[in-house]
A and B are shown apart, each in its own frame.
Chain A
Amino acid sequence: MRASGAGPNPLVRFASQIWGSIFRHGLPSTDKVAARTALTNFFLHIHPVRVKKSAIRVSYTLCLGGLSFFLFILLTISGLFLMFYYIPSVDQAYQNIKDLQFVETFGLVTRNLHRWAAHGMVITVWLHMARVFYQGSYKPPREFNWAIGSILLVVTLLLSFSGYLLPWDQLAVWAITVGTNMAKYAPIGGPYTRYVMLGGRTVGQGALIRFYVLHVVALPLIGFILMVIHFWRVRKDGFTGGL
């Protein structure tokens, strides 16, 4: 309508104004644009603008830290879907899982994905730990970040362990029985520790609701906060780079 203006069509100009207000800089055509895009984008600002070429070589990082984080996101999303169908009750939990497997659309593949991604995350976090150790990347000034990473490994195991009980089948209940039996052996207050973990002397409704709350709220929250600190410190300390 207006004679002056960049766009040929007011609708296109309106759309490009909206697009431009969301994404302030375009695709990385030059290094300068790329730097600005990374600086002004909330999600990209987890990364520095420039990195050493050797630090991001796939043969150096094996993508293990990034994959662990990505699997955490994948598990959060697939877990959210599963939560719509799952009721943490000893009377209903098993039937809910059966329904997911045989009735709900994409229920089976979502549960499978959640299960295999969980095993995958245990493996990638473990390998990430080994990778960082062998390359000596835990050395000063990164000592404390290694300690946070160690806690994150434990949180990952606890996340997986707490989720193991939820299907309420023979595998789940007896694995948790065997697993929590180890807590009994603590020299001070061992049986009491197990009682607190299970909310009773055997694996029952008390244990199910405890493990459920830990699995869907407490542990993911603790893990997420630790991950934020972990990544922030990686960002501040810089990548160690190739050997």
Chain B
Amino acid sequence: MATVVGNGGGSGDRPGARGRATVPGRQGVTGPELATPPLVVRRREEEETVVTFPALVYREFLAASAITAFLMLVSTWVNAPLLQRANTAITPNPAKAPWYFLGLQELLERFPPVMAGVAFPTFVIVGMMLTPYIDKNPSRRPQDRKVAIVLMTIYIMLAVAFVVIGVFFRGTAFTWQWDRLLGHPGVHPGT
């Protein structure tokens, strides 16, 4: 019993003192920590912790195993595409960029090239990198961040929509075609 008290007193002395000192001054303290609202600070003190090994390492191992198994299964059944040998004399119609750039290709269809090919992508990349410096709102709670969440959701929905359009609805000469999705991919009534 005596040793327990001694241990507790010895090791808990400094953190305890620090904790006691911060309690009255919590509202008034300034420093990097204070960018977060008091609610979050209080939560942080009460947070329960676990040892990363095994708690986190175990989860990482499971996630890695699961995705490996999934990809092995897919790779066993679905072959990566390989068309005829490259021939610069024969242009496929439509000629499409990889799917993650189809949003950009879609923009090129709709806007002047300088805007779609250069201005928009630059704006998106630079804007993304500067996001934390532009968004000065210190709160992480969704109810305090309505504007940020709405803007991001609009951006994501537009990006996904353009990629989906590019993959499924763009046919010969990159014109709009329903039949790529609705069957008869070889028949193009417009041509």
Which residues of chain A have a CB within 8 Å of any CB of chain B? 28, 31, 34-35, 37-38, 41, 44, 47-54, 56, 58, 63, 66-67, 70-71, 74, 90, 94, 97-98, 101, 108-109, 111-117, 119-120, 122, 129-130, 133-143, 146-147, 150-151, 153-154, 157, 160-161, 164, 167-175, 177-179, 182-187, 190, 202-204, 240-241, 243
Residues of chain B within 8 A (CB-CB) of A56 are: 50, 52, 55-56, 59
Majority SS of interface residues in chain A?
helix
B72-110 vs A, CB cutoff 8 Å, 1 = contact: the mask equals 101110111111111110111001111111001100100
Smallest Cβ-Cβ distance to A110: which chain B residue: B75
- The verdict on A139 contacting B86 (CB below 8 Å), with A34-B54, A74-B68, A186-B117 known, is no
- Give A194 to B61 CA distance when docked, in angstroms: 42
Residues of chain B within 8 A (CB-CB) of A146 are: 129, 131-132
Residues of chain B within 8 A (CB-CB) of A48 are: 52
Q: Which of A51, A74, A111 contacts B56 (CB 8 A)?
A: A51
- The verdict on A178 contacting B97 (CB below 8 Å), with A97-B82, A117-B71 known, is yes
Contact status A34-B80, CB under 8 Å: no
Contact status B132-A147, CB under 8 Å: yes
Contact status A116-B53, CB under 8 Å: no
What is the CB-to-nearest-CB distance from A59 to chain B, in angstroms, rounded to a whole number?
Answer: 12
B181 proximal to A (CB < 8 A): no
What is the CB-to-nearest-CB distance from A14 to chain B, in angstroms, rounded to a whole number?
Answer: 27
What is the CB-to-nearest-CB distance from A201 to chain B, in angstroms, rounded to a whole number?
Answer: 11
How many pairs, one residue from A and one from B, have CB atoms within 8 Å of each other in the complex?
224
Q: Which of B53, B86, B100 contacts A172 (CB 8 A)?
A: B86
Contact status B129-A150, CB under 8 Å: yes
In the complex, besides A53-B47, A150-B129, 14 extra interface pairs with C-beta distance below 8 angstroms are A31-B51, A48-B52, A70-B67, A111-B80, A138-B135, A139-B35, A154-B125, A170-B85, A170-B90, A171-B81, A171-B83, A173-B87, A174-B92, A243-B141
B142 proximal to A (CB < 8 A): yes
Residues of chain B within 8 A (CB-CB) of A114 are: 80
B23 proximal to A (CB < 8 A): no
- Give A15 to B122 CA distance when docked, in angstroms: 59
Contact status B51-A49, CB under 8 Å: yes
What is the CB-to-nearest-CB distance from A1 to chain B, in angstroms, rounded to a whole number?
Answer: 37
Residues of chain A within 8 A (CB-CB) of B141 are: 136, 243
Residues of chain A within 8 A (CB-CB) of B131 are: 133, 138, 146
Residues of chain B within 8 A (CB-CB) of A168 are: 85-86
Contact status A74-B52, CB under 8 Å: no
What is the CB-to-nearest-CB distance from A227 to chain B, in angstroms, rounded to a whole number?
Answer: 15
Residues of chain A within 8 A (CB-CB) of B74 are: 112, 116
Which residues of chain B (23-80) have a CB below 8 Å from chain A?
32, 35, 43-44, 47-57, 59-60, 63-64, 67-68, 71-72, 74-76, 78-80
B158 proximal to A (CB < 8 A): no
Residues of chain A within 8 A (CB-CB) of B92 are: 170-171, 174
Residues of chain A within 8 A (CB-CB) of B98 are: 160-161, 164, 175, 179
Which 5 A-B pairs have CB atoms at the shortest separation, nearest pair first? Answer: A143-B132, A112-B75, A136-B140, A115-B80, A185-B113
What is the CB-to-nearest-CB distance from A223 to chain B, in angstroms, rounded to a whole number?
Answer: 16
Q: Which of A50, A90, A116, A133 contacts B52 (CB 8 A)?
A: A50
